[in-house]
Copies of this chain bind each other. A is one copy, B any other.
């Protein structure tokens, strides 16, 4: 049984303002919760229907547990169809990014991605292809948005997310800079080498003018048909896949 103030506190976390104020975000579903418990994230509390009790792994003693009923879960859940279990997780400090994290690997950089689902899908894809971190411009949508968290399907627990000033990042770390643009070099003929930063832009506007100037290698997915553009999560996936293909051939 939850108190009114508990319910209203958790509901407030559906909004960015209160997530930021409290340093807490929401995750849902048993699989995702299990992954976050095993990660470097600190789980604050878990709210579960009675039938999920036996599925909870052996938990660190500092995680608070609350059994809830369906009506309560409906109120605190961010989903249309709640998944029976929900947890609050502490938002970590923005991790420090060093050149060691970036050398001998590829890192996605997002310049103003706005759709929460796109950001989440990109993080899931990055995780599949073994990319260890994603760097976001400060204009990119907040990663703790419930739609983003859900779309990562647990990958947020593994892929490090940095919000940084992109021009500074590109100038500080002297790595090859690739960018997804509409008039660049054919992606299938790109010499990726063994390391680099790969920039994807905003859904409508693409990569901003300031960042475009800092790209060494403009790259394009050749268009055969008539669509005007590709979804940014789709472009990111095709970039990750082609990089992965090159590294393993």
Contact = CB atoms under 8 A, between A and B. Distances in A.
A102 interface: no
A227 interface: yes
A238 interface: yes
Given A234-B234, A234-B237, A225 B129 contact: yes
How many copies of this chain does one complex carry? 2
Nearest to A126: B225
Given A229-B153, A230-B237, A128 B248 contact: no
A128 B241 contact: no
A224 B244 contact: yes
Interface stretch (A15-23, A69-77, A117-125, A211-219): A117-125
A130 interface: yes
A242 interface: yes
- Among A131, A223, A224, A225, residue most surrounded by chain B Cβ atoms (within 10 Å): A225
A109 to B, nearest CB: 18
Nearest to A240: B238
A53 B233 CA distance: 34
A221 interface: yes
Contacts of A131: 225
A30 B228 CA distance: 14
B154 A228 contact: yes
A104 to B, nearest CB: 14
A222 interface: yes
Contact of A244 (B222, B228, B237): B222
A230 B188 contact: no
A230 B230 CA distance: 17
A238 B61 CA distance: 43
Given A238-B241, A244-B224, A125 B230 contact: yes
B238 A153 contact: no
9 contacts: A124-B234, A125-B231, A128-B223, A129-B224, A129-B225, A153-B228, A188-B245, A222-B244, A234-B234
Given A127-B227, A234-B234, 17 more contacts: A117-B117, A121-B234, A124-B231, A125-B231, A128-B221, A128-B223, A128-B225, A128-B229, A128-B230, A129-B224, A130-B224, A153-B228, A154-B228, A158-B225, A233-B234, A237-B237, A237-B238
